[in-house]
Chains A and B, each alone.
Chain A
């Protein structure tokens, strides 16, 4: 049903002649909905702060590039494959949580991102440091790539948020919340903490990779420094923090607000100033409103 609705939306959008920039900017905002929601499955529900978002995002993008180079694989294959390869990396960092807790886990994920970037820089097949240029064939549906990619991202965002919501409301979500609050106590009460953590890191990695897979088609030129951009790490962290990390609604609200604000600031002021805004908003929220907007709303309603 979701699929039919999305195809209908795509046809409708193709008929309406909206300024193409809206699709261009909308894609980025929706991409951040996927990233923030995926990050939050691990960071918000399980309490493991991942600084390595760029690693997962870029792994999705570079899996796609590899498949385009090797087989000229179509977009749906790229998205599934990008997600699966990133999920594998997620499973790997899941086993890392056995030894590394708290801040050590975060620092390790950051290190992972840099190591992976160095490997990609030295891998000529996918473009190396020079980057990779994609010549897009004519868009198969809707007449142009802007509308097509936007529609694809709408679908991915809807699926990601639905999955996050169903995880949160199932026994898995409750188990993750228990291990977030006290891992040892949860283990003692019979919560299968390792299996739950592996599940969270794998799902989180999968959707971060999914967000990155269409990226080569979107930008048509990918270089390591753009795919491994630190902005993804900061935004993935800032958006759930602003929206609130305990519910599926929080990251979505944060991504839409902060993502839209950044797009507007990029056009009207400068792209560097918009990053400054992210940093300042992140620090303000973590100091003044650690529960985010949804937490604030709940507190106001409670009174």
Chain B
């Protein structure tokens, strides 16, 4: 027996999820896609942002997403600091790729274990007036806890797109990704540009974390599920294309939602990693390759 209602609900939920996935993946599109920094620790920063939102929400009753926005400067600074260490240890010596990857893998582990030491491995969640409410559009339910993160994710995508295409620093970031030597000849400092871009990437991760904890409860090891998702989206979206990231996010969101609805939630994680493996093996340039 096939239910069209179920299908419509799954697709709508998947699209909303996709908007949120875009928020999680934007930072990786920026750092990995444009700057070639394999920040595999990105999901750990997302979880760090989620826990920051949780702490502010449970102790001061602040709105999680508002907290996420307020904390972006802090995470920007953190990201800039991490990039400086990365630059001094690896990029300057010209051995960034594999050792840098190991560095970020270690960083992911440190953040995850640090969080479970401090907060334990219980599920943490936030409270806000809109969580738990939903509107009904002709049999298709739209939950606010999915709708709000989706809207914020779309706004973040738009903001990053405008930043990269309209502002001086944004264009400089695009310049770094294409030709560092030429950029230096034009009088801009690639290291400074990359520091700014990496900081923005981590700030986006923290805001995405606030969205994540709005959608569902979080444990420190949630970051592992997102490693596959963000890299699947980034590769599928064509490494550094902001529009491509959004399209790939929505495709993945719908695919996962359909899988969870019709085959059970235990399969949905295999979707993202399966897509990632396929994309890497068959078309590494993604759907919208540069």
Contact = CB atoms under 8 A, between A and B. Distances in A.
Nearest to A282: B106
B110 A280 contact: yes
Interface stretch (B64-72, B203-211, B277-285): B277-285
Given A100-B281, A108-B281, A287-B89, A279 B97 contact: no
Given A99-B280, A230-B224, A237 B105 contact: yes
Contacts, number: 109
B38 interface: yes
A221 B228 CA distance: 28
B102 A49 contact: yes
Interface stretch (A30-38, A60-68, A109-117, A210-218): A109-117
B62 interface: no
B113 A272 contact: yes
Contact of B105 (A102, A115, A234): A234
Q: Identify which of A99, A111, A290 gathers the most chain B CB atoms within 10 Å of its CB.
A: A111
Contacts of A276: 110, 113-114, 117
Contact of B276 (A96, A111, A234): A111
B87 to A, nearest CB: 12
Nearest to B278: A111
Interface size class of B (residues with CB under 8 A): 35 or more
B144 to A, nearest CB: 30
B269 interface: yes
A51 to B, nearest CB: 7
Contacts of A106: 98, 101
A237 B89 CA distance: 18
Given A115-B273, A290-B95, A279 B113 contact: yes
B213 to A, nearest CB: 21
Contacts of B192: none
Instruction: Identify whether the interface residues of A are mostly helix, strand, loop, or mixed.
Output: helix
Interface string A94-134: 00100110111011101110110011011000000100000
User: Which of A47, A104, A273 has the largest number of chain B CB atoms within 10 A?
Assistant: A104
Interface residues of A, number: 41
Interface string B210-234: 0000000000000010011001100
Nearest to A103: B38
Interface in A246-303: 270, 272-273, 275-276, 278-280, 282-283, 286-287, 290
A279 B109 CA distance: 6
A283 B38 contact: no
A96 B281 contact: yes
A176 interface: no
A85 interface: no
Contacts of B178: none
Of residues B85, B107, B276, which shows the largest number of chain A Cβ atoms within 10 Å of its Cβ?
B276
B267 A118 contact: yes
A103 B101 contact: yes
A108 B284 CA distance: 11
Contact of A112 (B89, B98, B277): B277
B98 A114 contact: no
Nearest to B227: A110
The 6 closest A-B pairs by CB, nearest first: A279-B109, A118-B270, A283-B106, A282-B106, A279-B110, A111-B273
23 contacts: A49-B101, A96-B281, A106-B98, A107-B40, A107-B280, A111-B232, A111-B274, A114-B224, A114-B270, A115-B274, A118-B267, A129-B266, A230-B109, A234-B109, A276-B117, A279-B107, A279-B109, A279-B110, A282-B106, A283-B103, A286-B89, A286-B106, A290-B95
Interface of A: 47, 49, 51, 96, 99-100, 102-104, 106-108, 110-112, 114-115, 118-119, 121-122, 129, 230, 233-234, 237-238, 241, 270, 272-273, 275-276, 278-280, 282-283, 286-287, 290
